[in-house]
Chains A and B, each alone.
Chain A
């Protein structure tokens, strides 16, 4: 009985949370330019699959495949780069002893308190002075350091017994070898969690790619397809929703593969 109740509640909650996605898909299949349907008319009589063709193919100014490539390339580069750099920093914080270590770590944590827009202007100026505007470097490099990942990985590394390091050290391993051969392989879950978080953050980022790139060929999917949300006149909702579905599909796939790490990630900081 108790089980039944909890299943019922869960199902209701799941349906409630899924509703916007279902709505999005149905609206994306309404005829182009149709008004937002009332709930009774949500399911289109004849699904307008051509909306997807309109978004994908029939916009001569929108190289959608290129957007896909940019998003995928940038996201993968940031995820890999962030894992490497953050894990190295986290190793330092977790394993090495040096003066001011905790202070520096708290400064790191403090940087989490600033919301993105506060740092965007200085980062923009920096990227500009490096001559990186409108390049992949602008899209990738600012993203490879993440205080959140450093924090998460430090917690994970601290939970690995120090005796393992000592054993490796007796066998002649240096710090880098311990990091690469001992600590990293034992932190799979934390690393996967970090990748999942940064994957989602980078894939869905809008403002930074909008600022730091100018040419159409450098646009990511999120920015490139935002043209359907028109700032002049009225938004063509079916096309806008078709574009949104296209942006979301890779995310959904990624989420299905990584969802267990999301839930794990929430616990990582708490277990020692």
Chain B
């Protein structure tokens, strides 16, 4: 099946393969996406998806620990992996004539990762160090507090990296069971974008992945976050440089017909943003509403909105770094006022047109990189369908200014929000010793 330059293949073992030839530069990228993330985690096992992701860099019989990064480097490539709420992804971006290496690595570690006891133990402390590195930043404490207040039962309340006590308690069998449950062709999507010939490459895909067994049925996630019954407020008091504000409104998932109007609302508030993570986007926030109202007025040194597509209902967020001379309450009032102004007066036709133009440019910048193109295909396939990665401009064209006002009125209410304050407990608590 072919759709907009994207070929869709399904192997007999149910592995979905998306390929897109791009001959702009002699590079290609190989991604494997698994439909598992912190959304799939239960109490006591928080962080297990992220830890399993780390274990896939710890060796197989064919690629023992410490060889994978060297072989990718030797072939002029880069590789990495990351875990999110809704998915786990791995990629290799390589000179085009080396793309088969990606197929070999990913097919091998889909099934053959060793999870040796001593590697599990050493990775436990690596992840604790990753967690402690994040905890050095005050924003991490605030974000965790906002998420855990905004979600009462949905796993989106848990940090992707997990809670420290769970990371101390889980063992090799827990991790290996998670791996065997979710890391199967029927729960994976292979995405290949770049300078290759599809039919020749598909022959190699079949060679590497065709023989892998289909896994068990994937456990469903039943959690549905209940309707909030009133505003929630959290405060973090810790050492820190300045106050930070974070507000999250519970909003629909990416399949909702209200998703695209919310996406436009985010762009009206702080510029159209690319979902592409590997560079290339343009900064478009300084002419948008929040920058004018918060940064230009010197209430905050930075402020923005953010909205990310997810499988289940998530948060539409507002964030601000409070100017040291200002009160966080003033900043909160000003941010809230920006939302209430749109609820009352709507947005202008010019703003809608500007968002569309900005998005058209962001799509073009993102398309300069095969890594970004594959990221968008895989990301959308994880949460809905890959087809949406090419539909963003068409979908924007269907949005009316009144839709944006309506979704602001419906979802960005005090009833549906969690307000977080980070209030520093110290000033000038730095000392140096020789």
A and B found bound together:
no
Which residues does A use to contact B, with CB under 8 Å? none
